[in-house]
Structure 1
Amino acid sequence: MSRIDETKDFIATRIAVLTVSDSRSLDQDRSGQVLVDRIADAGHVLADRKILPDERVEIADQLRAWVANPEIDVVISTGGTGLTGRDVTVEAHRDVYEKEIDAFGTVFTIVSMQKIGTSAVQSRATGGVAGGTYLFALPGSPGACKDAWDEILVKQLDYRHRPCNFVEIFPRLDEHQRRK
């Protein structure tokens, strides 16, 4: 199964956090704060943090801006992944993705099933890659953010994690754009 290879050095990633909400402010953003705290505890760097309303174009524009920023390796959003009319985060993410990480949503669902049973079907958590940057959309609850970080992201964003991890393939994410 998975393990940490202690012979390898930890490599900190630079992570931006986006909370999607029509009603929260920074001081009320419990889900975003869960992510910020876990990012720091794991030894990564918080590169930026914002709150935006549930507006597809605004969300996609912010994701594109972070993808274009060479100081950001990973973007994690929280909120707007449900089924209501205002939940447009997944669509905004897919507007930006070059490749979707299909298994991320599947693994998140498996993790969620263990915590909240069949209510997990109401989440549309997703992950993808664009411009050499990883992007993940998580539900807007603190519990979902804890589950996604503790069970998936903390491992996949650790270079020492074996048998494989997201960090070790950073240099190859944009190889299709390089001149041959």
Structure 2
Amino acid sequence: MIARIAAGDRAAFGALYDATSAKLHAVCLSILKDRPEAEETLQEVYLRVWQGAARYAVNGLSPMTWLITIARNRAIDRLRARGSRPIAVVNSRDPLAPDLAETLPSAEPGPEAAAIASQQRRMLADCLAQLSDPQAGAVRAVYLEGWSYADLAAREGMPINTVRSWLRRSLLRLKDCVDQ
């Protein structure tokens, strides 16, 4: 589908959207914790897919991994940009102001989602334990804590391309572990 999108095939783009939008929306929402902002980010993701499909290279990673990476990176960029905006404060002395605890929906996952997330965290921890400590730390820093490749390269005192190769090999090992 991505190759057809690179050629300008709108039907392939629609099919890709139908097949992947729920998963990518979940990725954006899990990072941003704000539904409207996640929806805007999802639009940006598909715009990037449409514009960048020709740059997609089949390199052993699945197309879904490429799409999730785009969604994750856009959401993190938005999250970082959000950090510089002021947050509105409600006047707590206003007797007509609603109690925030009553008006905000709970951000906590339900029991089923919590059980699934717990199982996934255990599986990821087990797979990360199979990597060497420096590799596991690098994967955690970039993919779980939001570090950039450049930040990690500076921390490790390594060239950025070496860090990319190192992370790619680590992700391939993690993929093999998760697939088992």
Bin of the TM-score, shorter chain as denominator length: under 0.3
More helix as a share of residues: 2
More strand as a share of residues: 1
Q: TM-score, normalised by structure 1?
A: 0.28
Relative contact order, higher structure (CA 8 A, sep 6+):
1
